[in-house]
Structure 1
């Protein structure tokens, strides 16, 4: 899995995984080769997204009976971790896409569902436009959908529109009527849609997570659906997506520190070896970083198991099992966030203990690992996740499945 050390990350998640991954690995390598330059120049990854679209990476989850590879969530997670290892901006930019794919797969058979599956097979991608930082109160949205003849009109403004500048369609959450939450699927080039690359966070700078504005955007009747029809395990999936990104960051950091120590010729007069790769204390740091990243991989794949179980229960039409497994998946994804965030933040901090001052050169951009990890780990605050897990463990209180930040 994109590493010079065979087997260090453990066994593949399935017998067919290597064959499934093989066509994408040359693309991942090309993406990795340009990652530092894109980071330094702040170049959005339009070209890498195009490579992935041409390879139909976004159709991974499309079932075999519809012409896709039908990747399980364990396989999809492992592939997205490899992509995050190449460039952590990309799986986050595709977070809304894979969520929308599963939302489509979750729906009963219809012309709408079949049309979207074909779009995925043709390479179309979907970004999200959920969160607002306007005057919307916590628990609701200011964006609104109103009737217009036989269709609808969308007005509003979103921020953290992850991946939307790179996508063909936008998955927008809004309010219809008094308080009904709906989702609106909007072509990115529709009249009245404006997007801005104004995300100014210090990490994950290239996820295209800026502002999306919608001014009297006309929507066809079937482009608006009640939000309560969406796939029930979406919160567990969206959290798993962040765990994937964090895990890939950890693996990339582990690979980089090993490579830099292997190639390093400078040393210190008081070092424990002639060169760094023979210094037991330096090797200990490399071992720590690798082990932290290894543990993150294991936890992320465990959460993927939970998401796959919910998906299978939903596909089988077992509503009782789906509800029970969705609660479990939400708790597992919360526990995963609590642990993986700490593992990767530690790994991306201590890696510098194995290197000299030259590792601080901006051209190496090693600081991006901590900045990116800190940025992803700040989503969905850890303190609330810890409380949710504790409340479930002690009181069997069901976790919340809808998180809507806003003004108090």
Structure 2
């Protein structure tokens, strides 16, 4: 299939303002309940249902198949707006949009209309890749096996199963013993043997549904087993840019919230610079600095998203070298963006407290949620290792790691603690 022939079936962009107009009223409703959900640790079942009902999960599905046909840059602009309303909701949908992206790439060689229709009907996909405990790095305990009657079954246990508790499907990383390969098993959350616990105990991103998933003799079919080595090549960059969009949204939300606090503040310090806090030049400096940092975070995130669009398009050009270069570029830009945006947003969400007094620490206000959420999002992929691989690329042209894992060191076999 040539790039010219496939244009109508690709998601290359749409009228952003027209598309976002459908969703902004929902974002506003989501924002109105964010402090309550944060304070009470209430999972956003209702907000995610609102999004499902309007087809939000299908914004990347090509227009030719009934979706919005947004480019990735437009998708991430949309996610920044949603993250401004509630960053937990974006995190909960991260696995879904990655699975959608994989199906968009797979559509090059095989029709994905069945999945497109599911997305259009409001079905979303949760994420379940990581195992904790004593699983050794490079290994995966979750297995696909075959019964004597030929039925395929899945058994395993995952943590960080973000978004699965809200989803109809699970993007499950496993080892298929029947074919001796790593796979993605697309498992229905409605299947007997699927159990989801909301036991995520992080101090930030508390309502993302990132708890434990247990699968016991869950049946599946061969057409729902997807070889992992066929996964879309820019997946690591894509996952990272979701984080960048989330951080940019957190930054904008923090600036808007603290700005309103400054406008409304009546108490002043005797050694301040004005009769009203909102006229104090040092306070205005704090807000101005944070606003500039939020702007930079969004600009960098969207620049990285443009590289993802290039990688997506290159997949359909039948030029392996061009595709490799586009994927390298996407991985590099997402990594560079992570290093800078994480530091920008962690800084501004802390420094904004300099614009207020001790009352800003009230748990009623939940102003600390911005830093807590940014800190957890920034912890997913260690910055020090990202800095190292960027430097190795720049100095030595060392290959960037498209896929990486976490697990127990072989030297820690006899240790009791396995985190």
Q: Please tell me the TM-score bracket, short chain as reference.
A: over 0.9
Q: Distance in 1 between matches of 2:350 and 2:227?
A: 44
Q: Distance in 2 between matches of 1:400 and 1:111?
A: 27
The equivalent residue for 1:175 is 175
The equivalent residue for 1:25 is 24
Structure 1 stretch displaced more, 259-268 or 386-395: 259-268
Q: Secondary structure at the match of 1:94?
A: helix
Work out whether residues 140 and 404 of structure 1, in 8 Å CA contact, stay in contact via their aligned partners in 2. Answer: no
Deviation string, structure 1 residues 57-106 (Cα, Å, up to 9, x no partner): 11000011111110001110000000000000011100000000011111
The equivalent residue for 2:8 is none
The equivalent residue for 2:221 is 220
Deviation string, structure 1 residues 272-301 (Cα, Å, up to 9, x no partner): 011011100000000011111111001100
Alignment of 1:90 onto 2:89: yes
- Cα deviation for residue 319 of structure 1 reads 2.7
Alignment size in residue pairs: 396
Give me the TM-score of the superposition, normalised by structure 1: 0.94
- Cα deviation for residue 112 of structure 1 reads 6.2
Residues 300-315 of structure 1 mapped to structure 2, 5 A cutoff: 300-315=301-316
Q: Secondary structure at the match of 1:24?
A: helix
Q: Secondary structure at the match of 2:184?
A: strand
Work out whether residues 134 and 157 of structure 1, in 8 Å CA contact, stay in contact via their aligned partners in 2. Answer: no
Structure 1 50/73 Cα, relative in aligned 2: closer, same or farther at 3 Å? same
The equivalent residue for 1:102 is 101
Deviation string, structure 1 residues 138-179 (Cα, Å, up to 9, x no partner): 122111111234441101100000100011110100012385
Q: Distance in 2 between matches of 1:172 and 1:112?
A: 21
The alignment's C-alpha RMSD in Å is: 1.5
Structure 1 218/112 Cα, relative in aligned 2: closer, same or farther at 3 Å? farther
- Cα deviation for residue 338 of structure 1 reads 0.4
Q: Distance in 1 between matches of 2:208 and 2:319?
A: 36
Structure 1 stretch displaced more, 372-381 or 101-110: 101-110
Work out whether residues 247 and 300 of structure 1, in 8 Å CA contact, stay in contact via their aligned partners in 2. Answer: yes
- Cα deviation for residue 357 of structure 1 reads 1.6
Alignment of 1:161 onto 2:161: yes
Residues 365-384 of structure 1 mapped to structure 2, 5 A cutoff: 365-384=366-385
Deviation string, structure 1 residues 214-243 (Cα, Å, up to 9, x no partner): 111110121112101111111110111111
- Cα deviation for residue 109 of structure 1 reads 5.8
The equivalent residue for 1:272 is 273
Residues 112-261 of structure 1 mapped to structure 2, 5 A cutoff: 113-148=112-147, 149-177=149-177, 180-261=181-262
Q: Secondary structure at the match of 2:155?
A: strand
- Cα deviation for residue 315 of structure 1 reads 2.9
Q: Distance in 2 between matches of 1:222 and 1:150?
A: 14
Give me the TM-score of the superposition, normalised by structure 2: 0.92
Give unmatched runs, 5+ long, in structure 2. Answer: 1-11, 410-419
Work out whether residues 123 and 168 of structure 2, in 8 Å CA contact, stay in contact via their aligned partners in 1. Answer: yes
Q: Secondary structure at the match of 1:22?
A: helix
Structure 1 341/277 Cα, relative in aligned 2: closer, same or farther at 3 Å? same
Q: Distance in 2 between matches of 1:110 and 1:334?
A: 29
Give unmatched runs, 5+ long, in structure 1. Answer: 1-12
The equivalent residue for 2:353 is 352
- Cα deviation for residue 320 of structure 1 reads 2.3
- Cα deviation for residue 266 of structure 1 reads 1.3
Q: Distance in 2 between matches of 1:58 and 1:326?
A: 24
Q: Secondary structure at the match of 2:173?
A: strand
Work out whether residues 58 and 68 of structure 2, in 8 Å CA contact, stay in contact via their aligned partners in 1. Answer: yes
Work out whether residues 181 and 227 of structure 1, in 8 Å CA contact, stay in contact via their aligned partners in 2. Answer: yes
Structure 1 356/14 Cα, relative in aligned 2: closer, same or farther at 3 Å? farther
Q: Distance in 2 between matches of 1:90 and 1:71?
A: 19
Structure 1 stretch displaced more, 396-405 or 157-166: 396-405
Q: Distance in 2 between matches of 1:357 and 1:70?
A: 47
Q: Distance in 2 between matches of 1:321 and 1:140?
A: 32
Work out whether residues 251 and 293 of structure 1, in 8 Å CA contact, stay in contact via their aligned partners in 2. Answer: yes
Q: Distance in 1 between matches of 2:150 and 2:310?
A: 39
Q: Secondary structure at the match of 1:58?
A: helix
The equivalent residue for 1:322 is 323
